[in-house]
Each structure stands twice: as C-alpha cells, then as structure tokens.
Structure 1
Amino acid sequence: MSRTTFAAAAAGFVRDVEEDFARIGRIVAEARAAGADLLALPEAAMGGYLSSLSGDSPDGPPQLDPDGPEVARLAALAGDMVVTAGFCERGDDASGGLPYNSAVAVTGDGVLGRHRKVHQPLDEHHSYAAGDRFTAFDTPVGRIGMMICYDKAFPEAARALAMDGARTVVCMSAWPASQTDRAPVLSEDRWARRFDLHDRARALENQIVWVSANQAGTFGDMQLVAAAKVVDPGGEILATTGPEAGLAVAAVDVDDAVDRARRHMGHLRDRRPASYAVADA
C-alpha cells in the first residue's frame, strides 16, 4: 500500500505579497512537519481575494505573471511536496485586459499544472475574466485536477476532471458566509453548510479523493468559513479544520480507496450519457 498524506489549509491572506509568502512559508513548514506529500493552499493565497463580491471592490489583487518570480518562489518553498495555490493572473489580449482568477500546482522542479476559474459568482465577472476548461495532469502524487471555489457548485466540472483520469481533485476557495441572515455560529451558517455539502457530494459522485482549502477569518466585507478538509471517495470527511484556521491532514492510499469505491458501484462506468442530453437554452 502506498499512502499519500494530504494537507488542506484554512488561512487568511492579504494584499501584501511579502506578508502572504511569510504566511505560506509557515504553512509549508507545518505541512512538511506533518509529513504532507500534497499541500493545498486557498484561492488567492498570493495577493488576497476581492474585498467584496458586490462589484465595487475598490482594491483589486496584485496581478502576477503566471511564470513570474512569485510562482518560482512558491516552487522553491514546495521542494519535494506538491503545493497548489491561487493567485490573480495578469490579463492578456484574450481577456480584454481583465486578470484571471487562477491556480497553480508546483514542486521544486517547477509547474505541474494550471487552472483558470471558470464559474463566476455574483459580480466577480467585473474583476476577472473566466477560464474555459478543466484538465487533469500528472504529479508525483498521481493524476490530479484543480478547480477554484464556485467551480465546485457545478457537477460537470468535477466530472470532467474525473473523466480525464483525476483520482484526486483539489478545490481552492475564498468561500464566505452568508451576506444576509448570517448564523451566529459560523459552522451553522447556510453558506458554510453548502460548502461542506459540495465537497462531500463531488467526492462521492465521482468516487475520488477531494482536498478542499479555503480562506479563513475576515477580508473586506466577507467572513470566510474556513472548513478546509480531506474527503474520501465515499464522501466521508477524513479531516477538517472546522470553522477555524489550521491544517486538515489525512493519509490515503488513493488508488486502493478509489478502486474499492468503484469496484461494484462504479459511477463513471455506469453512466448513460445518451440519456442526459439536454439542449442548452
């Protein structure tokens, strides 16, 4: 049996990239001490997320080059671990100058994979251009896929990665609590419950390992729900930070867990695609 130790971070990040790297360095050290083979940092870990989702965020994140010094610095910190993290990727001609909400997976050897957030909640489209694909890629811990925050609300996104061979999916978020009628206890907030439900459902329906990182604390007008976790292919939570900052750490034999989950009730095998066709409006 070959077990992979996953660490999912719940932590807050800010506009100051130097301060963010100080935080990332501490989290990497903690994950390494826990024996992590893969560390998932949240969405916008390098430069912070939007301060508001109402379309009037006054201070956008710093735009970073996808092959720039910050990504190289993250790779150097990663060393022999796989580390995933979100950042604001500098816009290009195709995006009309808008940046992308992006994520990267690295080791000390360099970049393994990239993702641009496809689905945009509320008014996020005013701040970011959308990505257009979900693609799995090979890493030292097996074939994985990545997505960002609201992407996980769409079953097709995780299914596309599973069909592309991903046995582990890493979802990086800056998922807030409800803006209205917020529960007095963060873990009981309806948006916090939805965050957990999406994580468990996407793991179960695709019979994959799910690693969910999220921002924690407050940023701008948002309270982030934390709740970083590792979920097994049966939808069971193996480790979670709950509503607090920290690391959720769990060791999984990915191939064995996925193969056992799919042995009899194989959700990918038993699909009937011809029955699902619906014409888009």
Structure 2
Amino acid sequence: MKTTVIAVIQLHPKKNEIESNHQRALSFIREAAASGAQLAVLPEYHLADFSPSYDPSIRQKCANWKRYLDAYCAIAKELNICVVPGSLGELHDDDSIVNAAYFIDNTGAVCGKYEKKNLWHSERGYVKGSKNETRHIAFDTPLGKVGLLICWDLAFPEAFRELIAQGAKMIIIPAFWKYSDAGEVGMKRNPKSEGDFVDAAVVSRAFENTAAVVFCNVAGPIDGGYAGLSQVAMPFLGRIERFKDAEEGMKIVEVDMNILEEAEDVYKIREDMASSDWHYGYRK
C-alpha cells in the first residue's frame, strides 16, 4: 500500500443553479488534478438541494442525471484522476428518484455504484431507498478496495462492517449534513450538536474498522444551518484533516494507507471478523 492523495471538495450547492454548481465542481476537479490528487470527492446532492420543500419541480431536475455522470467520467479520463461525484438525484423510468453515488476511475470507467439505504427522514417522502435485501458492496479501484456510503449511513456501524468484511480499506461518504438536522429540540440543547455527532462518528468508524474514512459535506451559509466540517480520519492518527467551518473550498489530503495494516496488526479487527466463530455474523 502507499500514500493516496485525496481532494476533498466542500461545495455549496446553490438552489436552482444545477449547471453553475456542475461547472464549479468541474473547476475544482481540474484544480485537484493539477495539485497531484489521485481522487477528488464531492458532496451529496452537490448539483442542487433536491428537497421538494425548496423546489416543487424536483423530478424534472433529476431527469438529466446521466448527462452529468457522463461529464464526470469524461473529466476523470481527461485528467487521469479518480472521481466520486458526490451523489446524484436520479429520476428513473418508473418515476422513482434514487440518491446514488459512483466511483469513477482514472480511465473514466465506473468501478462501483451505491444507492443510499438509510434515508434521512425528510428524504423518505420523495426518494426511493435501495432494497432491503441488497448488500453494501465493496469494489476494486486503482486505489484499492473501496466502499461508498451516503450521509446518514454514517450513523449505522452495520453498513461499515459489511463493507469491511469484504475487504474495503477506504470508505467514502458524500454528505448533505446540517446543524439544523438536530431539530428544534437538539438545537436548543446544543446548536452545534450535529458537528459533535459527525466529528465523533467519523473518527470512531476509522478506528473501529481500521479504515480510512473520507467524509465530504456540503458548504453553505451558517445562517442556513450548514455545518461543513468535511474531514478525513485514520486509525491511530484520528482526524488528519478537517474544514473548520462551512465555507466552500478544497483540501488536498495525503493519506498513508500503510497505517491501516499497522492498525490491523494491533487491533486485529479484520482477523476477528474473518474467524469461523465470529459471533456477529459480519463475514464474507
């Protein structure tokens, strides 16, 4: 294993400006490639906030998702960089919308796709979650075995375990996570509670799974409840990089993947999970 250079792009998806958001995303990817990054990661729903409460024409705006996916495949090939284009709201032939993330390799090929399982509460009225019988799937990439999750999946350790059991070394999580998600009660208790949640969960998942965890959140104005706090965590090191706030921008993060083997030698989590008498059932 070796050092992997990751560009974490904390993009602000401006409402009703899908094309503008897309062009800014492409610009960041070009900057990432010029900086030597091997992987560029964008946030969940980075083309627009697709909540019907913001835009009643949600379905029409999700119809052109394939054009944007093709554009990300093209730029990945052009710049010789892997890309996780956040997640896309996809309108399918049965009139359902899915929240999907892709891993595109540096040749422009799609290595893996993930449709969000654990939908946030407000999503459930208009997004179709992946079927209960489908598994979380880890897949091979030029950077090693990778798993994709989306936003609220971070709250479910089971999702990580299923990916780790299949050999994933890096878990990438595009997110649209806001301080205001705590609701009125949570905000009253602690206005920054969702930041505490994210900080604790990202680092915990890295340690408890001996995995690199890449959490890429949206940017946006504080008075709109945006949290930002995109970050990368590793076992032993904890958080190795993090946005301090919700401003739009990009951080180039060097991740020493050799640390994962060192951590596994100490914690033996993957070894235990692979044993014949593993008592939780998370086994390949």
Aligned residues: 266
Instruction: Indicate if the aligned counterparts of 1:64 and 1:70 stay in contact, CA closer than 8 A.
Output: no
Name the CA shift for 1:57/1:193 in 2 (closer, same or farther; >3 Å). Answer: farther
Pairing 1:180–2:184 present: yes
What's the counterpart of residue 4 of structure 1? Answer: 4
* Structure 1 SS opposite 2:229: coil
Matched letter for residue 260 of structure 1: E
What's the counterpart of residue 203 of structure 2? Answer: 200
Instruction: Indicate if the aligned counterparts of 1:207 and 1:234 stay in contact, CA closer than 8 A.
Output: no
Q: Output aligned runs, 1:262-273, within 5 Å.
A: 262-271=264-273
CA RMSD of aligned residues (A): 2.6
2:163 to 155, 161, 164: 161
TM-score (norm 2): 0.84
* Structure 2 SS opposite 1:215: coil
Greater share of helix: 2
What's the counterpart of residue 108 of structure 2? Answer: 109
Pairing 1:73–2:71 present: yes
Q: Once the 2 structures are TM-superposed, how far is the Cα of residue 160 of structure 1 from its aligned partner? A: 0.9
Instruction: Indicate if the aligned counterparts of 1:216 and 1:223 stay in contact, CA closer than 8 A.
Output: no
Gaps of 5+ in 2: none
* Structure 1 SS opposite 2:204: helix
Q: Output aligned runs, 1:1-281, within 5 Å.
A: 2-14=2-14, 15-50=16-51, 58-60=56-58, 62-64=61-63, 68-78=66-76, 79-85=79-85, 86-93=87-94, 97-107=95-105, 108-132=107-131, 133-178=135-180, 179-180=183-184, 189-218=192-221, 222-234=224-236, 236-243=238-245, 244-254=247-257, 256-271=258-273, 275-276=279-280
Instruction: Indicate if the aligned counterparts of 2:10 and 2:216 stay in contact, CA closer than 8 A.
Output: yes
Q: Once the 2 structures are TM-superposed, how far is the Cα of residue 28 of structure 1 from its aligned partner? A: 0.8
Name the CA shift for 1:90/1:51 in 2 (closer, same or farther; >3 Å). Answer: closer
Name the CA shift for 1:40/1:131 in 2 (closer, same or farther; >3 Å). Answer: same
CA distance in 2, matches of 1:116, 1:157: 13
Q: Once the 2 structures are TM-superposed, how far is the Cα of residue 64 of structure 1 from its aligned partner? A: 4.1
CA distance in 2, matches of 1:144, 1:257: 16
CA distance in 1, matches of 2:279, 2:109: 42
Q: Once the 2 structures are TM-superposed, how far is the Cα of residue 208 of structure 1 from its aligned partner? A: 0.4
**Alignment identity in percent?**
26
* Structure 2 SS opposite 1:7: strand
CA distance in 1, matches of 2:167, 2:279: 23
Greater share of strand: 1
Matched letter for residue 33 of structure 2: R
Matched letter for residue 87 of structure 1: L
Gaps of 5+ in 1: none
Q: Once the 2 structures are TM-superposed, how far is the Cα of residue 47 of structure 1 from its aligned partner? A: 3.5
Matched letter for residue 9 of structure 2: A
CA distance in 1, matches of 2:206, 2:122: 28
* Structure 1 SS opposite 2:89: strand
Summarize deviations over 1:239-280 as a string: whole Å, max 9, x none: 1112132223221231x1111000021112224876447xxx
* Structure 1 SS opposite 2:25: helix
CA distance in 2, matches of 1:136, 1:237: 23
Instruction: Indicate if the aligned counterparts of 1:136 and 1:146 stay in contact, CA closer than 8 A.
Output: yes
Instruction: Indicate if the aligned counterparts of 1:228 and 1:248 stay in contact, CA closer than 8 A.
Output: no
Q: Once the 2 structures are TM-superposed, how far is the Cα of residue 51 of structure 1 from its aligned partner? A: 6.4
CA distance in 1, matches of 2:185, 2:122: 20
* Structure 2 SS opposite 1:225: coil
Q: Once the 2 structures are TM-superposed, how far is the Cα of residue 224 of structure 1 from its aligned partner? A: 2.1
TM-score (norm 1): 0.85
